[in-house]
Structure formats: structure tokens, C-alpha cells
Chain A
Amino acid sequence: MATSKVEGSSSLRHAFGGVLSVFILLLIGVVAFSIRLFSVIKYESVIHEFDPYFNYRVTQFLSKNGIYDFWNWFDDRTWYPLGRVIGGTVYPGLTLTAGTMWKLANSLNIPLSVETVCVFTAPIFSAFAAWATYLLTKEVKGPGAGITAAAILAMVPSYISRSVAGSYDNEAVAIFALIFTFYLYIKTLNTGSLFYATLNSLAYFYMVCSWGGYTFIINLIPMHVLLCIVTGRYSSRLYIAYAPLVVLGTLLAALVPVVGFNAVMTSEHFGSFLVFIIIHVVALVYYIKGILTPRLFKVATTLVLTVGIAVCAVVVAILVALVASSPTKGWSGRSLSLLDPTYASKYIPIIASVSEHQPPTWPSYFMDINVLAFLVPAGIVACFLPLSDASSFAVLYLVTSVYFSGVMVRLMLVLAPAACIMSGIALSEAFGVLTRSMKFHITKYFECSHTEAPAKLGESTSTESSAPLENMTKSDTTEKPEVARKEKVARRKQKKEKELTENAHVKPVSAKKEKRPLVLPLEASIVSVFLLIVLGGLYVLHCVWAAAEAYSAPSIVLTSHSHDGLHVFDDFREAYAWLRHNTEVDDKVASWWDYGYQTTAMANRTVIVDNNTWNNTHIATVGTAMSSPEKAAWEIFNSLDVKYVLVVFGGLVGYPSDDINKFLWMVRIGGGVFPHIKEADYLKDGQYRVDAQATHTMLNCLMYKLSYYRFVETDGKGFDRVRRYEIGKKHFKLTHFEEVFTTHHWMVRIYKLKPQKNRIRGKSRKSKLGSKSTSSKSGGMTHKNPWN
């Protein structure tokens, strides 16, 4: 009667809670989608940055030509004259996802263009990622923590920065795949079901397709398995969760062309194989322990150990010899730079030059994860009370991602879901304790005015008091309620108060782990709840500000506010459109590798180097050309069939990421391959400058000349607004190049290679008779006649 009524009301409450959860999750998805739309509202629906343009071009190709041509695509419009095998070097997950969505939408007669689908892929998948975070945190702690974590992830600025509408990059779908794979792993670990293990492998396959950061998963999960084994938490569920994943996962990873045989041959995967062997050994040991008596088991262990150690030593020796024979110990350059942060700057300047690969500064933590930075330690504590397999995984995930985010600022993105999970757990536990205190005090009020009912009903229906946040307050709180109660109930019946204090005394003694009435005073609870809500409000405020102001810039269109309104700098698209309409289809354009993707995607011209940076020598060639004097540069560009050279110059408007600021990297990379380029030649007293005190080499190199040609005509003095001084060499003429286009704000400048003279006056005539003029007369490729 009473129990069924309680059951009935609790099931109704559960049903109501379920519906409310679904509604809240839907709202979270809507928030995640809408907060990323600032760039579309403030600017336009355009693809951002550099890498997304490549993905966009690949998606265009896929939508036009179908999947078989996509797999076999050899791109000859980039890395001229080498070309690039797109099918084998791109992570296909993102483009296939967007292509599928486009195809689906069009088959339903919703006429979305490829660009629209590409721009909005990231917000849609961020909503999915928020839901995946809910599922993952629900497995770790419970549905309350799940909803909190999902709400936090929907808005965390670090994730927003890589997934705004228009940021069509791998991370847009990869973070969703990461969280979903972890969710399925934890679900398999909790349930021991082979079905979820299969799904886990398929989700891991999707992750491998999407991002090079999949190596994080295939190293984190073995680490966690090892942790469980070492801390004595081995169970058969662990075996079911891990072993099929390794086999199926390695096979599926080898299916993706860009990974291929690296799935079994590179050191990034060896960890998983090692733990695979270890878990089999442990499983065997447990099995034999189960069927033998303890004495015989000891005999067995001694026997096995003597034989096993000998075998192990041999195997390890072979492995070490194999691994040590390769100079990088089998790791790829990027992974090695994660383990040894100084590796890249010593050996691979290209990896070191990317600004995303630099270590983050302290303020960037507060910018990117804000309030979570100090909720995370509370979450770690909450995970330990009680410690389960899933919560140990969450702690391990957090610790490793904190380390990696400290090495490379780009990997703050991997920290974001971990921080959100921890903060969700912390906030949920905090709310649990506080509302429990409030409920306890309020029900106590009502009881004191009614007949005596066991006041502990309030606690018994609340969630298991498994995680009191602060252990040290436990001793205090058993006194505080008494004190508070004494003060408040002093006017009420004395008998009631004595009974309650007795109960409160009895309860902690009798109940060991559960049902400890850990309560805080009512005022403290109310104030704390209010403060936590204010904290959440401040977090939301910061996230919306960060999304609107800091992370929504498409960086292909720039704006600035001045006293006479909004200025829009659309120079990049202006230059690419000029190239598209005023040059031949087969003309080659040389620029620094930053602009390669944009040039092929928007201007549709062949480029020499682009953002893929897979060939260091080719980039060094371009860098050398930019650092050489005009004639030598012309020779280099001519040998590459280049027709046009593109430089980005910010001196007129104060755009700081122009080629002059990047020039030292060109020198370093070029000097790494061609030793006649020395960085010291371009520095005066160790300082990089382009004013009157600059070195002769600097003032005569191609980059300087192409950037500052006719610059003095703008204001008569040649004052560079980025470097903030007047330039050194002001009046000069170009002998081997001619200027063909400069954009409105002088941000992009395009030059054409001058054809060689037909007749050369003077004594060098005889030696020049051997070379022919290479001017193109009717478009198309022209070749040097080798017989002349």
C-alpha cells in the first residue's frame, strides 16, 4: 500500500524525468548548433581558414564524380610537378560524411549546395558530440552528471574554436567520433556485451577515417587496460572490451588507405599489441588459478616464470633491435614531437613553424576552458569516490590530455571533452549534496509540524550518497546539523529534537557506506546553489562572448571598426577571383605554402606547394626562391614552369600575418635544404629588420622586393604599419618580374615572370644563345627544347 504508492510515484517521477531529460538534451543540441552560427551571422556563410578549403575542394570532387573516382584521384593541380595522390593521403571521414549528407538531402529534394552542407557540418556534429558526452558521462557517473557534462560541452570555447560554422576541418567530426568511441568502450566495459564491442570497433573505424589523432585512442585504451590489470581490477569484461577491439580495430585501421600498413608497423600501435599479449597472459593466469589448488599454482608459477623470462628476454631483444634500427624509433615525426617537444624544432622546422603546434600559454587555458579549469580537480576527486573502471578511465583520459594540451595548443581540443566530463561530474555531485541538504532541512521542517515520521525517508530516496565532495567536512557536518537543529528547533518540541539527534548519531554509526545523512546547513546550501548557478551563468556568458568575438573570424574576410563605420577587407577573394578570370587554366602560381589550398580551391590554378607540407624539399625550393635575389629567384621559378608569384603584404593596412613576418621561416626551411641560404645573412645584429639598417641580402631578396615594390607611392615615405618603421629600400625597379595585380588594400600582390629577352646585347650573347625564350604564346605548357 504505502510501498506501491511510493513505487507508483517514483515510477511516475522516473517517467517525468525521462521526458524532461530528452527535452533538455534536445535543447542542448540546439544550443550547440546555434552558438556556432555567429560567423554566418556576422560575416557570411563562407568556408574559413586554409585547410577547410582543401576539404571543400575534395568534397566538391566527390559530389561531382562519385566515390570510385575519389578513391583513385591523383591531383595534378598541386605540388607541381609532383602531384599528390589524394585518395591515399587524405583522411576520408569528413568528406565522405559531408558528401553523404549532401546526397541524402538532395535525394529528398532539399536543394542544398555542397558549400552549405560543408559550412554547417561542424555545428551539426557538435550537437551530436554533446549527446555523445551525455551518454559517456551517464556510463561513468549517472544521468545527472551526463546532462551537465553535455550542457558544458555544447558551449566550451575550445571546441567552438575548431567547429564554428564554416570551419570545415577534420576535428569537426573527429571529436564526435572520439567521444562516441570512448562511450562504446565504457559501455562494453560496464556490460561485457560483445555487441557493444563490435560497435566500439566500428566507431573506432570511423575515428581512424576522420583524424590523425586516432592514435590517441589506440594508446589511451591500452593504457587504461594496463591500469586496470595493475590495480587488480581485471575482469572478463575487460577482456571482452579490449581484445576484439585490438584485432578488429587494427584490421579496420589498415583498411583506410592513408593508414594502411602503418597500423601494424609503426610504434604508435605497438602499445596496443603489447597490452594485447599482456591481457592474454593475465587471462590465462586467472584461469589456471581458478582450476588449480593454491600449492600447485605456486609450482606452476615458478615453472612458467623460469621458462617465460628466457623467452621474453629473447623477444624483447629482437624487438629492441628492430625498433632501434630506425632513426625515429618507429614513430612518425608528429607523434615524436608530442613525446619530445624539442624534437620538431631541432629536426623538422616545418612542424615547428606551424603556430598551432606551439605550446599554449597559461591564459589560453582560461580562455578555452574557463570555469572548467578549477572544476576539473573537484571532478577528479569525485571520480575516486567510488572508483570504478569507468571513472578510472575518465581520470586517465583527463591526465593524458592535460599533458598533451601542454605540448601543443591545438590539442587543447582533446582536453575539452575530458574537462567537460569531469566538470559535469563535479557540478552534478555538488548539486546532489546541496539539494539533498536542502531537502533534508525542508522535510524536517514539515515533519516537525506534523506527526513523527522517519525523517530519513528523504535520504533513502535520494541518490546513493556515494560521493560526498569534501571528505574533510564529514566530521564537521555531523556536528553542524546538530548545532543548526538545536538553534532552529529550540522552539519546537524538545522530544522531537532529541530523537532526531539520536537518529543522526545512530545513522553514521550503523550505515557504513550508504545512507549517511551528509547535510550542510540550509542557508549554506541555498547560498551555494545560488553561487553555482551564478558560476554557470558566468561560464555561459564567457562562452558566448568567445564564440562571437574571438573564434568566429573566417580569416579570409577581415573587418575592422573605425570612426566611419565598418571596413571589410575582402582582398584574398579579390586576388583569387582575379587569378581565376585573368589567367590561363594551366598557369602555375607560386606562393608560400599557406595559401596553396585556397588558391587551388578558389582560383582553380595549379600551385607549387600547399598546406599539406608533405615534401620538405619542394617547400625549401620555394623558400630559397623567395630569399634569393631577383635573377636567381627567376631561374628557380622558371625551372618549375611558374607563371605567377603571389605574395601577401600587410604593411598598408596593418595586417600582421603577412609574408614578411613569415619570411624568417622561409629562410630557415630553405636553409635547411640549400646551405647557401644562411639565416644570419638576413639579420642585422641578430635582429630581423627591413628598414634602412637591414642587411644587403635582406633588401635585395625577392620577398622584400615583391612586397615593397612601389610601396613608397602610397604615402611618400614608405611607412610600414605592421613593422612600424619606414622601409629601407624605397625606390627600385623590378627587372625579372612585372606587377600584374594588387588588391584594393595592397594585401595580395600578384607578379608575373617576365619572359626572357629574345636578343641580348653585350658580351654574354654567345652564352645565352643556348637558352630559348620561355614565354607562352598560346597558353598550355611550354617546354625547353633540349636540342638547342
Chain B
Amino acid sequence: MAKGTNDAQLLIQSLRKAYASTPTSLKIIDLYVVYAVATALIQVAYMAMVGSFPFNSFLSGVLSCVGTAVLAVCLRIQVNKDNKEFKDLPPERAFADFVLCNLVLHLVIMNFLG
């Protein structure tokens, strides 16, 4: 047991150390992802309390949070300099794609929100 908790602590410490070395821009994106997922969870908790009518509003709210989180992760993948596959993709292009996809997503959300 002691070894288990020791291992867990060691694990968390090494994770923290490894994560601290990521560049700030990626950390901002990660923060945004965490914020989006947290918003989604809050919405689900609210729906559990209040009921799911109207369902389309709930669905569009949760899916918009999940959608922006997913798109932010895609942006992070494309902008990350450690990623060899996207070496020759300029980050401006990645960001432009991100904006376009978000635009389409939010257009659909606004339509579905009711």
C-alpha cells in the first residue's frame, strides 16, 4: 500500500514536471479545453436537477461545449511543435481552420438552440 501511494505520488509529480515543460500557448489551449468540458458538466448537472425540456436546447448547449473542446484539441495537435506530422503546417493556417470550423459549429448551434 505504501509503495502504491508512493508510486502514485511519484507519478503525479513526474506528470506535473513533464507538463510544466510544455509551451505557454499550448497550456492556454489546454485551459480552454478544461473550461469547455467544465461548462458541459455544469450543464449536465443542471439538466439532472431541472429536467430535460426543451431537449434541443440542452443538446445544443452540451454539444457546443464538447465541440469547442474537440476543436481546441485539434488545434493543439496541429500547433504542437513536437508533432512531426504537422511540421510544415503554418500555425496561422491551423488557427484559420479552427475559426472556420467553430463558425460552422456555432451557426448550427444557434439554429438548433430554439
Contacts and interface: CB of A to CB of B under 8 A. Distances in A.
B15 A291 contact: yes
Contact of A300 (B11, B82, B101): B11
A105 interface: no
A193 interface: yes
A296 B11 contact: yes
Contact of A293 (B14, B66, B111): B14
B54 to A, nearest CB: 11
Given A254-B59, A303-B11, A240 B77 contact: yes
Interface in B62-85: 63, 66-67, 70-71, 73-75, 77-78, 82-83, 85
Contacts of B101: 194-195, 197-198, 244, 248
B11 A244 contact: no
Q: Most B CB atoms within 10 A — which of A201, A243, A247?
A: A247
B15 A244 contact: no
A261 interface: yes
A250 B108 CA distance: 11
A347 B109 CA distance: 39
Given A194-B74, A244-B67, A237 B85 contact: yes
Interface string B79-94: 0001101100100001
A292 B14 contact: yes
A96 interface: no
B10 interface: yes
A758 interface: no
Contacts of B66: 247
A292 B74 CA distance: 22
A292 B18 contact: yes
A247 B70 contact: yes
A288 B15 contact: yes
Interface residues of B, number: 38
Interface in A229-262: 235-237, 239-240, 243-244, 247-248, 250-252, 254-255, 261
A303 B9 CA distance: 12
A684 B1 CA distance: 80
B34 interface: no
B55 interface: yes
Nearest to B17: A291
Interface string B41-55: 000000000000001
Contacts of A250: 63
B104 A192 contact: no
A226 interface: no
B108 A239 contact: no
A354 B18 CA distance: 62
Contact of B104 (A201, A243, A292, A300): A201
Interface string B16-52: 0011000000000000000000000000000000000
B85 A303 contact: no
B98 A194 contact: yes
A243 B74 contact: yes
A299 interface: yes
A540 interface: no
Contact of A251 (B10, B60, B85, B86): B60
10 contacts: A192-B86, A193-B89, A194-B97, A198-B100, A239-B74, A243-B70, A248-B105, A251-B60, A299-B8, A303-B7
